[in-house]
Amino acid sequence: MDQQVLFEIIPTEKFDLLTKEELVILFKGEQKMRLHFQREHARMQALNEELKQKSFVVEEQLITIKNKLFGKSSERSPKSQAAEVSGNKSKKKRILLPSERYPNTPLIERDITFDKMPICDCCGNEMEDSGMTEDSEYLTKIPAQYYVVRQKRQKCRCGKCHGSIKTAPAPAKIKEGSSYSDEMMVDVACSKYCDIIPTERYAAMAGREGLKELPPQSLIESTHYVADFVREAYRKLKTEITAPVVIHADETPHRMLEGDTKCNWYLWGFSTPRTSYFECHGTRSGDVAFELLAGAQCHFLVSDVYTGYGKAVKEANKLRTEKNLPPIQHVYCNAHSRRYFKRAEEKFATETKFFIDQYKEIYKLEAQAKGKPPDEVLELRNQMKPYFKAIKDKAMACIAGYSSKSSIGKAMNYFLNNYDGLTRFLENPELPIDNNPQERLLRNPVIGRKTWYGTHSKRGAETAAILFSLVESCKLNQLNPREYLKNLVQDLHQGKPAYTPKEFKDLTK
C-alpha cells in the first residue's frame, strides 16, 4: 500500500500547500530515488548481458557434445559437385579376377563336364569335346576346424638293470602344460588385439564351429602368456623408438575396471614411421613422457599442446644441456588447430570460413608434397607460408571482438599461442604437418576400449600395451601380425634372439 502511494502522481495544486523547506525535502527524496533506480537498472542490464554470454557458451558446448555423440567422425570436407562429376567420367577400371587380386591364395581347379554329350541344335548329331573351356573364378572359405591333439611321448627303459625310465622331451610351448597350442594362443591374441574381437565373442564363434563351452577366462589368460613370452621384442621396441630424430606422442584414457585403486588409467603411445610403442599408466603426468625422452636421441616431439609434454620436454632439455646435446623442440599438430575452427563452424559459419579455406589450401599442398624429394617438399611448404600468415593476421585483427570462452575465440587463441610450433614443419622436410599418424595408431586401442570397456588387472593393462605395440608395428611395416608372431614364437623356442617387426621385415626382404 505504501509503495502504491509512493508512485502516485501528485496533483500540481497540492504543491501550493507545501512550504519551501518541504519542497526541498520532496525534491531531494525524488532525486535519491531516481539515482537508486538508475543504479539498479544498470545492474540488471549487466546481469542480463552476463546471462546471455553464459547461455551462448552453454549452447556452444551443447553443439560440441552433440557433434561428438552424433556427428561424423571424419573431418574431411564434402567434395564439390564438379569433383564428383569429373570423378564419374573417369575411365572404368577392369575388375580383376580373384586369382589376380590374391596371387598367394591356393588355387583349386574344378573341371565341370557334361554327364552325357549334348545334341546339336542345328543337325541333331551328338556333339564332341572341342578342347575349349569357359573359365570363371570365385572365392570360397572352409570354416575353421578345431582338433584335439593327443600327444604320446615315447618312454624308454633299461632292459638290463631296469633302473631308469626316460621320456621323450615334449615340444616347447609358450606355456608348459597348457591345454592350448601355441597356434591357438597366438590366434586368440591376434583376434583380440588385431581384429578387436572380444574374447567372449571368440568363444561364441568357436561354439558355432563345434567347440562349445570354451571358457573365455582361460583364453584371456592365454593372451597374458603370449605377452610374457614375447616381452623381449617389446623391450626392443622401446630402444627402437628412441633412436630417430622425430618422435610422435599421444595418449588416450584406459579404464581399469578392477585391480587398482584408480580406475582412470591412460594408454600412452609413441611412434616413428616404422615403430609403435605403448605404455599403460595410472597417471597422465608428463613424467611418463619424460622417462622416454630422457634416453631418446630425438630432436623433435610431435604432439598436441598438452602441458604434460611441455613439462617432459623441459625436464629432458635440462639433461641434454648438461650433456651438450641440442634441445628437443615441439612440433604441434595442425589437425588439432584446424579441428578447433571446424568445431566453431556450426556457430560461426561466416567467421570460420576464411580460416578453414586457408587450411584447405595448406593441406592440398601437403598432399602434393607426399613422397617428393626433400628439396621439392621445402618448395611446396614455402608456398604454405602466406596461408599461415593470412590466418595469423586475420586472427590478430578479429580476436578482440570475441569472447575467449567462445569456440571461435578458443580456435584463434590456440592458433596464435602455438604459432611457432604449428609452423616449425615448414623449415624441415622431415617434420610432419600434424600428429595424425599417431592418432591412427590409437584407433584400435580406442575401439577396443569401447568394445571390452577396459581391463580387470594391471597384468591385463600390460598385456594390452605389449600386444598392441607389436600388432601396430606390424601394420606400419605392412606385415601380417599373425605371421610375425608365429615366426617370433618359433624362433624364440629355438633359442634365437627376439626381433621387432621392423627387424623381421628387413630380414625377410
CA dihedral of residues 488, 236, 458, 455 (deg, nearest 10) = -60
Beta-strand (E) ranges in 262-369? 264-272, 275-281, 300-303, 329-332
Q: What is the pLDDT of residue 79?
A: 60
Identify whether the C-beta of residue 357 lies closer than 8 Å to the C-beta of residue 338: no
Mean residue pLDDT of the chain comes to 87
What is the mean predicted confidence (pLDDT) over 93-122?
82
Assign 142 a pLDDT band (cuts: 50, 70, 90). confident
pLDDT beyond 90 at 40: no
- 291 CA to centre of own chain: 22
pLDDT beyond 70 at 56: no
Q: What is the pLDDT of residue 1?
A: 45
Q: Under 8 Å CB-to-CB from 15, ≥6 apart: which residues?
A: 23
What is the mean predicted confidence (pLDDT) over 349-354?
90
Identify whether the C-beta of residue 273 lies closer than 8 Å to the C-beta of residue 287: no
Rg (CA), the chain: 36
DSSP H or E run through 338: helix 334-344
Q: What is the pLDDT of residue 169?
A: 86
pLDDT beyond 60 at 154: yes
What is the mean predicted confidence (pLDDT) over 456-469?
94
Alpha carbons 37 and 26: distance in angstroms, whole number = 17
Identify whether the C-beta of residue 231 lies closer than 8 Å to the C-beta of residue 174: no
Q: Under 8 Å CB-to-CB from 347, ≥6 apart: which residues?
A: 59, 60, 63, 406, 407, 408
Backbone angles phi, psi at 248, to 5 degrees: -95, 150
pTM of the shown model = 0.79
pLDDT beyond 50 at 483: yes
Assign 238 a pLDDT band (cuts: 50, 70, 90). very high
- Extents of the domains making up the chain: 334-434
Of the given ranges (12-16, 180-184, 218-222, 310-314), which has the lowest mean pLDDT? 12-16
Assign 416 a pLDDT band (cuts: 50, 70, 90). very high
pLDDT beyond 50 at 216: yes
pLDDT beyond 90 at 364: yes
What is the mean predicted confidence (pLDDT) over 223-227?
96
pLDDT beyond 90 at 259: no
231-241 vs 458-476: helix axis angle to the nearest 10? 60
| Residue type (1 letter), 5 | V
What is the mean predicted confidence (pLDDT) over 296-305?
93
Alpha carbons 145 and 140: distance in angstroms, whole number = 15
> In sequence order, which ranges of 209-270 are alpha helices (DSSP H)?
216-229, 231-241
Q: 61 versus 116: which is more confidently predicted?
A: 116
- DSSP letter at 142 equals P
pLDDT beyond 70 at 64: no
List Cα–Cα distances, 174 to 167, 384, 488, in angstroms: 20, 53, 11
List Cα–Cα distances, 509 to 401, 479, 498, 502, 506, in angstroms: 59, 12, 18, 11, 5
Share of the chain above pLDDT 70, in %: 89
pLDDT beyond 60 at 274: yes
Assign 6 a pLDDT band (cuts: 50, 70, 90). low
